[in-house]
Amino acid sequence: MKYRIFAGLFLGIFAAPALCAANISILVIEAGLNGEKPKTQYAVLWENALLDAFFDSGHIITNSPKIQIDGKDDDFPAEAERDFNYAKEGGMDFFLIALIDYSTSIVSLRLFDIKSTKKTLEQMYAASTFRNTKDETDKIKTAARIMAAHVR
């Protein structure tokens, strides 16, 4: 009986740090529409795939409503400041901006540390023509898994 108690305590002490999950807030931003109708299906695909991949990686996630900005490409768009502050007040550890720029056909994933407000990682991906949903979802989930590895 004592052996089981000690074995359980030993495993609990060494396994507990592996159970830590990061709190991540995700914001999808569309840019470069130039008066065109928003491509909501593509933005929703990115948002859902990012949420799924981070959740499957064991992280606690939340998202903000998608926003649209003009074509200027700032490192941290001013329009995202409000959502960043909400994430900070909500106890999030990281803030992820998925900027879909239709004018350049680039999707930029920017991961910010909430405490230091520094960008910790940025990845760029080519925006596809959205012909095959499964292939695009797999590409997005692969990108999210790379980001998830950096938030542990």
Separation of alpha carbons 52 and 136, rounded Å:
14
At position 23, the amino acid (one-letter code) is N
- What domains are there in the chain, each with its CATH number? 20-149 (3.40.50.10070)
> Phi/psi zone of residue 119: left (φ > 0), alpha (ψ -120 to 50 degrees), beta?
beta
The reported pLDDT for the residue numbered 40 is: 64
Whole-model pTM: value is 0.80
Closest CA to 122 of 143, 108, 136, 134: 108
Residue of 30, 90, 39 lying closest to 65 (CA atoms): 30
- Virtual torsion, Cα 83, 86, 92, 98, nearest 10 deg: -10
Residue 105 and residue 127 in contact, taking contact as beta carbons nearer than 8 Å: yes
Q: How many CB atoms lie within 10 A of CB 146?
A: 13
Q: What is the pLDDT of residues 85-126, one digit of tens each?
A: 999 999 999 999 999 888 888 889 999 999 888 888 888 888
- What is the structure's pLDDT at 13? 62
Task: Please state, in angstroms and rounded to a whole number, the distance separating the CA atoms of residues 137 and 125.
Answer: 13
Name beta bridge partners: 119.
112
Q: Sort 74 into a burial class: Cβ within 10 Å, 0-12 / 13-18 / 19+.
A: exposed
pLDDT digits (tens, 9 = 90+) for 27-86: 999 888 776 666 668 888 889 999 999 898 889 899 999 988 876 667 788 888 899 999
Count of alpha carbons within 13 angstroms of residue 56, beta-carbon side: 12
CB 110 within 8 A of CB 75: yes
